[in-house]
Structure 1
Amino acid sequence: MNVHAVKMWKTLKLLWSKTNRWHRALFIFAVAELNLIPGGQVGFHCNDPALSHPYTGDTVNWKWLMATTIFIPFAVLLLVERKQCPGDTAKRQALVWYKEYLFGFLLNLTIVQTLKLIVGSPRPHFFDTCGPQEATTCVESDYVPSYTCTKAHWLKQSNKSFPSGHTSLAIHAGVFIAYYLYRRGESLPGRVIRVVQGVCVVGALVCGASRVWDRRHHWWDVLAGALLAAPVLLYTIRNLCKNFDCRQPKDEQTDGATFTHNGIVNTS
């Protein structure tokens, strides 16, 4: 390794040491989302019916998805914790877990966008929105390994089918809320808890299914998005949110006060 490379490596290590987990995840997300590095490109078979569907829009668009998966978990956390803890303690506890939820959400989104960039899989409406030049000259079912889109608006979206980001984020939010209510919703009526849990999980599944019937993703993209959400969700709940467990061991409790994992005090 030459002197220039050693200096560059030391500089990169220094910069990395000055960042936190949020900076790193946001940086990777920005690189993938803005296509700052060359991505993969899966070719297509001429006249492939699986890629010949018209683009008809989204049943669940990105604005609705982001609004529901970002704000509803916070509302649920705050309402439930107010039932569990007095005053400002509830707000602080809800904010601590919500911050960890958001980081898990960002991690999920970053992984999805990175995979989309690496794989470069054509969407079901590929021919309609990409209009590849090569599709006008290929015959029968010839395989075209590389192509050039002719529709500028869709240049960076027609080959972002795998995996489904809608599905992954919807599962992340829906199951997070359902499990949180299972762990912390004992102060609420059981019927209310079950209804909210059911709505969250069913809503996530419907969101995933809509990606198939809208012809925005293939079924395997949706399945991959759901499977991808599982380990990220497990990490978020078990490692970041500590399984929503507020109590410390007995030797750390004093004078009837229970210290939480995050330094919040609940008085008995």
Structure 2
Amino acid sequence: MKLKCTLINVTTLIILFVGIILVSIAKPNRRGFWCSDESIKYPRQPDTVGGGQLAVIVLVIPLIVIISGELIAHKLNLNTRKSWRRQLNVNGSNHIEQAAKVSTDHSVSSWSVNINSIIISWLFSLFLTALLTGFIKTQVGRLRPVFYSQCKSSVSCDDQQNHGVYLTDYVCNIKPSEEIFIRTSFPSGHSSYSMSSMVFLIVYIGQRFLINRTNSLRYLIASVQMSFLIIALYVGLSRVSDNIHHWSDVLVGLILGAGVTLICTLFLGFSGDQWSIGECDNKSIPKDENQEQLETF
């Protein structure tokens, strides 16, 4: 059952990934332009957050945080269970002591299940965000702020007869991949991807370490969560300052990334102490009456 569920989950991720590739190479909606439109005549600037930096933010940081978080939670969980067993030994209850041993053994298997479920949940929300972002990009086909300078259009705006005319009969003298790039401004992919991963980490830390008034580390945890939000905002704002996106592209990208991820984590059963995405994960490890109390920190 566990292998079957893993295969189903991985297949779902593969299908989403294939969809992402297909929309990324699809030809976007071809729009014309006005020579009087100053919003598409900005010069190209070097990327503040390039592809490599984005990969670190969107992929590497979440992996490190999730694995580290589960290791810390697992360690705290084991210490709690050991303390509980010692107390039971003092009380001399053989029956409850045996239950405590089963609960401790369960935590080892639970750790691997949590890692698997959390990573799949994270990738699902990220891939879904990327797929929706790419689909909207190709359907809208909004011109980037650097469109005119990068297009090298066969029609010149220096010609007075082109003023006041919506130009559609023109050719961009650049590579097809570059033309796809300058025609897919809305929404910002950098913004939606980074916000998706960062919001997932915010929800994950909040669920895993249970922020409330009794948690002595609540301010530290909240600060870490805020740092994730700042990272996503920084990525989005950099796309505006680099003249790669209009401000509205970034705003919608941030909303899209946050919205999709929140729906996945809060309404599709991705949150909770086991981060289960289906009956498969719930059945793979039997629960005991003390599990919820001991595995949430």
Q: TM-score, normalised by structure 1?
A: 0.79
Confirm whether residue 172 of structure 1 aligns to residue 205 of structure 2: no
Deviations 1:15-67 (A, max 9, x none): xxxx94224322321221122xx431222111421111111121111221122
Q: Give the Cα–Cα distance (whole angstroms) in 1 for the partners of residues 170 and 114 of structure 2.
A: 52
State the match for 1:145 in structure 2: 168
1:120 to 132, 137, 141: 141
Displacement of 1:146 in angstroms is 4.9
Aligned length: 239
Partner of 2:31, secondary structure, is coil
Q: Go from structure 1 to structure 2 and tell me whether the alpha carbon gap of 1:63 and 1:242 turns closer, same or farther (over 3 Å shift).
A: same
Confirm whether residue 160 of structure 1 aligns to residue 192 of structure 2: no
Displacement of 1:178 in angstroms is 1.5
Confirm whether residue 245 of structure 1 aligns to residue 269 of structure 2: no
1:233 to 244, 254, 261: 261
Q: Go from structure 1 to structure 2 and tell me whether the alpha carbon gap of 1:238 and 1:84 turns closer, same or farther (over 3 Å shift).
A: same
Decide whether the 8 Å contact of 2:199 with 2:258 is kept in 1: no
Displacement of 1:108 in angstroms is 0.6
Deviations 1:122-141 (A, max 9, x none): 10000111112123555324
State the match for 2:125 in structure 1: 104
Q: Go from structure 1 to structure 2 and tell me whether the alpha carbon gap of 1:46 and 1:193 turns closer, same or farther (over 3 Å shift).
A: same
2:18 to 5, 14, 27: 27
Deviations 1:166-203 (A, max 9, x none): 11111111121112212212588334312211210011
Confirm whether residue 130 of structure 1 aligns to residue 151 of structure 2: yes
Q: Give the Cα–Cα distance (whole angstroms) in 2 for the partners of residues 147 and 40 of structure 1.
A: 14
Would you tell me which structure has more helix in proportion to its own residues? 2
Q: Give the Cα–Cα distance (whole angstroms) in 2 for the partners of residues 149 and 188 of structure 1.
A: 59
Matches within 5 A, 1:54-93: 54-85=43-74, 86=78, 87=108, 89-93=110-114
Q: Give the Cα–Cα distance (whole angstroms) in 1 for the partners of residues 234 and 39 of structure 2.
A: 22
Displacement of 1:88 in angstroms is 5.7
Partner of 1:155, secondary structure, is helix
Deviations 1:109-163 (A, max 9, x none): 1111111111111100001111121235553242113532112262221111011
Paired residue type of 1:26:
F
Give the gaps of 5 or more residues in structure 2.
Answer: 1-9, 79-107, 276-281
Confirm whether residue 45 of structure 1 aligns to residue 31 of structure 2: no
* Moved beyond 6 Å, runs of 4+: none
Deviations 1:219-252 (A, max 9, x none): 111111122123311232124553233398xxx7
1:181 to 178, 198, 205: 205
Q: TM-score, normalised by structure 2?
A: 0.71
Partner of 1:75, secondary structure, is helix
Answer with 169-178 or 235-244: which moved more.
Answer: 235-244
Q: Give the Cα–Cα distance (whole angstroms) in 2 for the partners of residues 24 and 106 of structure 1.
A: 10
Answer with 140-149 or 199-208: which moved more.
Answer: 140-149
Paired residue type of 2:73:
Q
Answer with 55-64 or 237-246: which moved more.
Answer: 237-246
Give the gaps of 5 or more residues in structure 1.
Answer: 1-18, 260-264
Identity %: 25
Answer with 135-144 or 65-74: which moved more.
Answer: 135-144
Q: Go from structure 1 to structure 2 and tell me whether the alpha carbon gap of 1:120 and 1:70 turns closer, same or farther (over 3 Å shift).
A: same
Decide whether the 8 Å contact of 2:33 with 2:167 is kept in 1: yes
Displacement of 1:253 in angstroms is 4.2
